[in-house]
Structure 1
Amino acid sequence: MRRRLINSTLAVVLVVIAVFGVSLVLVETRTITSSAEQSVKAEALRLVSIVDNRLIVGEPLNPVILARQIGGGRYARIEIPGKPDIEIGDRPSGSVIRSEVLGERNETVTVEESRSSITREIGRTLLIIGGVALLAVIAAILLAVRQANRLSSPLTDLAETAERLGSGDPRPRHRRYGVPELDRVADVLDASAERIARMLTAERRLAADASHQLRTPLTALSMRLEEISATDDPETVKEEANIALTQVERLTDVVERLLTNSRDPRTGSAIVFDLDEVVKQQIAEWRSAYRSAGRALVCSGKQGMRAVGTPGAVAQVLAALIENSLMHGGGTVALRTRVTGNQAVIEVTDEGPGVPGDLGARIFERAISGRNSTGIGLAVARDLAEADGGRLELLQQHPPVFALFLSRVARKRKDNYPSVR
């Protein structure tokens, strides 16, 4: 493209120079020739006037004096009837410009000048015109190269941006070139890069969330199946099988929620549900894990509360907090329920070392973890809480206190939470 732009610009300039240059040469040639002819004629008239004056007063014609009246390089001949001809200068050979004038005493004055002087003048003019044309061509080439670089470099840059998008690097470059059409293409490519980046981020986030959220139900299901395989008691098998079916339903709910959030993360399915049932279900689910670790899981606080949210999402949030305490905390893990204003609050705390001071403000960010873990669990838990209008906060770092806030519909109930030790 650069070569085409340079060639096309140079071709236009050469055509313009050819058209106007030839016209200018013709005009200048005619002008120079006409001027020379007029000059020779004017000199002949002046010379005949001098001759007439001297003849009238009877003065002799001195060739030396007359030679001073004509320009150098010209030839003059004065023919007076009855007298010898007077010649001034050397008669030119070849093609000449001649002017012949008849005086009042019938004398004839002829002035001649070689056309070589006109040729030299025309040659100087052609040289000047050629120099100007050469400068114009050089300027045109420089301008064409500059314009070609200005247009081709952005196109090369845009091609590299498109290639980067195709190779999986969706970072926008935010470069503009001062050409409206090219800037429009750059805007479209940057917008496409941002959309691709969001799509890739959403896919990676979905994969990370799916691996994390499916891990807990799968682990619980695996433990139930191990219990079934290790016992011969039909009642135990039946109980564990029912719990395993519950885990399968949870898995289904997790998958459906992940797919829903992948389409629109703001979509929620909040309903009014029994908060006690979700807490009981989580206690039953984590009972075996805590017993195996030699630790206790206890519940206390207000009972009979109903909250607004998605039961499956709330269960996943509590599971993330309980698992986090099991992996990183220590001692007894306590679930406490309370009411503040129009919200139901579930607090999860343990007796471990707590959250490091430098991570307190960033504990819910993805890939932020104080231990050797993925750093996804708390970020996913906060997203699940916020999807239905709730929120998850770290109320205290030492000992750690995490609180899940949900809108509530309170009602009286006399059920008690079980305690696991």
Structure 2
Amino acid sequence: MRRRLISSTLAVVLIVIAVFGVSLVIVETRTISASAQESVDSEALRLVSIVDSRLLGGDRVNAKVLSEQVAKKRYARIEIPGRDTVEIGERPTGSVLRGRATGEEGETVTVEETRSSVTREVGRTLLIIGAVALLAVIAAALLAVRQANRLASPLTDLAETAERLGSGDPRPRHRRYAVPELDRVADVLDSSAERIARMLTAERRLAADASHQLRTPLTALSMRLEEISVTDDLDTVKEEAQIALTQVERLTDVVERLLTNARDPRTGSAVAFDLDEVVKQQIEEWRPAYRSAGRAIVCSGRPGMRAVATPGAVAQVLAALIENSLMHGGGTVALRTRVTGNQAVIEVTDEGPGVPADLGARIFERTISGRNSTGIGLAVARDLAEADGGRLELLQQQPPVFALFLSREARTRRSSEDAQRPVR
């Protein structure tokens, strides 16, 4: 592209110089020739006036007297009736410029000059015009190179940016080139880079979330399958198989939920459901893990509440909180349901050391963890809660109290707020 820009610019400049240069040469040649002819004619008139004055005064007219009145390298011939012809200088040969004038006494003065002087003057003029044209060509070449670099360098830079995008580096460069068209292309590439970066971030986030959220259900399913493989009791096999099928359904729900959140985190499939069933399901699923750790998990609070959310998402949030208490907490884990205003609240607490003071405000951020864990669980749990219009908060750091707030379905018949549900 640089070569084309330089070639086209120089071609335009050369054409312009050729057109104007030829015209200037013609005009200057004619001007110089006319000026030389005018000079010869003027000298002839001047000499004839001098001859007239001398003839009228009775003075002598000869070559010696008039030689000083004729310019060097010019030839003059004075013809006076009844007298000898007076010649001054050497008569030129070849092409000459000739000026002639006639005086009042009948004398004729002829002045001649060789055209070589005109030719030399035209040559000097052509040399000057050629030098100016050469300087113009050099200046045009430099400007063409600069302009070509000014236009080609941004295009090369934009090509590199596009190549970087294609190779998986979506960082926008935010470079502008003071050329509106090129700046527009740069804007589009930067916008594309930002969109690609968001897409890659979403894909990586989906992979991390899926890995984290599927780990626990897969572990539980593996445990159920191991129970089936080591028992000969048909009733136990049926019971464990039914639980395993339920966990497979939960795995399917987790995958669908993660894919839905990856497409649009604000999209939810909220329905009215019995909150007790989800809480009971989570306690039954996690009780073996807590029993193996020598700990207990219980629930209490107001029974019979119905919330408006996605049951699978609520189960995933509770699973994240219960797993967090198992890994980082201590003692008995308690789930408590209560009502505040038009919201149903599920609190999860344990008897452990709680959340460190320096992590309290950042506990729901990704990669933030009190121990060597991924730091994804609570962040995903909050996203799931917010997708259904709920919210997940840390109400107390020591002992830790996490609360899931959900919209509550209005009911015509309410149970006593003080009723308790012990779980053994």
Distance 2:64 2:7 in 1: 63
* 1:247 matched residue in structure 2: 247
Asked if 1:417 is matched to 2:414, the reply is: no
SS at match of 1:365: coil
Unpaired segments of 5 or more residues in structure 2?
none
SS at match of 1:87: strand
Which residue identity lines up with residue 176 of structure 1 in the other structure? R
Q: 1:64 to 1:330 in 2, by over 3 A?
A: farther
* 1:191 matched residue in structure 2: 191
Identity %: 83
* 2:200 matched residue in structure 1: 200
* 1:337 matched residue in structure 2: 337
Asked if 1:277 is matched to 2:277, the reply is: yes
* 1:163 matched residue in structure 2: 163
Distance 1:397 1:137 in 2: 80
Mean Cα deviation higher: 303-312 or 285-294:
303-312
* 2:141 matched residue in structure 1: 141
The Cα of 1:409 is off from its aligned counterpart by 2.5
Aligned pairs for 1:302-317 within 5 A: 302-317=302-317
Q: TM-score, normalised by structure 2?
A: 0.93
Give CA-to-partner distance per residue, 1:15-42, whole Å, 9 cap, x none: 1111111111111011100110011011
* 1:27 matched residue in structure 2: 27
Asked if 1:291 is matched to 2:291, the reply is: yes
Unpaired segments of 5 or more residues in structure 1?
none
The Cα of 1:402 is off from its aligned counterpart by 1.3
Q: TM-score, normalised by structure 1?
A: 0.94
Mean Cα deviation higher: 54-63 or 132-141:
54-63
Aligned pairs for 1:380-391 within 5 A: 380-391=380-391
* 1:406 matched residue in structure 2: 406
* 1:89 matched residue in structure 2: 89
Which residue identity lines up with residue 423 of structure 2 in the other structure? S
The Cα of 1:410 is off from its aligned counterpart by 5.4
Which residue identity lines up with residue 123 of structure 1 in the other structure? G
* 1:12 matched residue in structure 2: 12
The Cα of 1:189 is off from its aligned counterpart by 1.9
User: Contact (CA 8 Å) 2:352, 2:400: kept in 1 or not?
Assistant: yes
The Cα of 1:114 is off from its aligned counterpart by 2.2
User: Contact (CA 8 Å) 2:331, 2:350: kept in 1 or not?
Assistant: yes
The Cα of 1:63 is off from its aligned counterpart by 4.3
Q: 1:410 to 1:301 in 2, by over 3 A?
A: farther
Mean Cα deviation higher: 198-207 or 269-278:
198-207
Asked if 1:130 is matched to 2:134, the reply is: no
* 1:109 matched residue in structure 2: 109
The Cα of 1:89 is off from its aligned counterpart by 3.4
* 1:212 matched residue in structure 2: 212
SS at match of 2:69: coil
Distance 1:179 1:198 in 2: 28
User: Contact (CA 8 Å) 2:62, 2:86: kept in 1 or not?
Assistant: no
Give CA-to-partner distance per residue, 1:285-330, whole Å, 9 cap, x none: 1000000001121222222221111111000000001001111112
User: Contact (CA 8 Å) 2:394, 2:403: kept in 1 or not?
Assistant: yes
Q: What is the alpha-carbon root mean square deviation over aligned residues? A: 1.9
The Cα of 1:155 is off from its aligned counterpart by 0.9
The Cα of 1:64 is off from its aligned counterpart by 5.0
SS at match of 2:247: helix
User: Contact (CA 8 Å) 2:301, 2:420: kept in 1 or not?
Assistant: no
The Cα of 1:93 is off from its aligned counterpart by 4.2
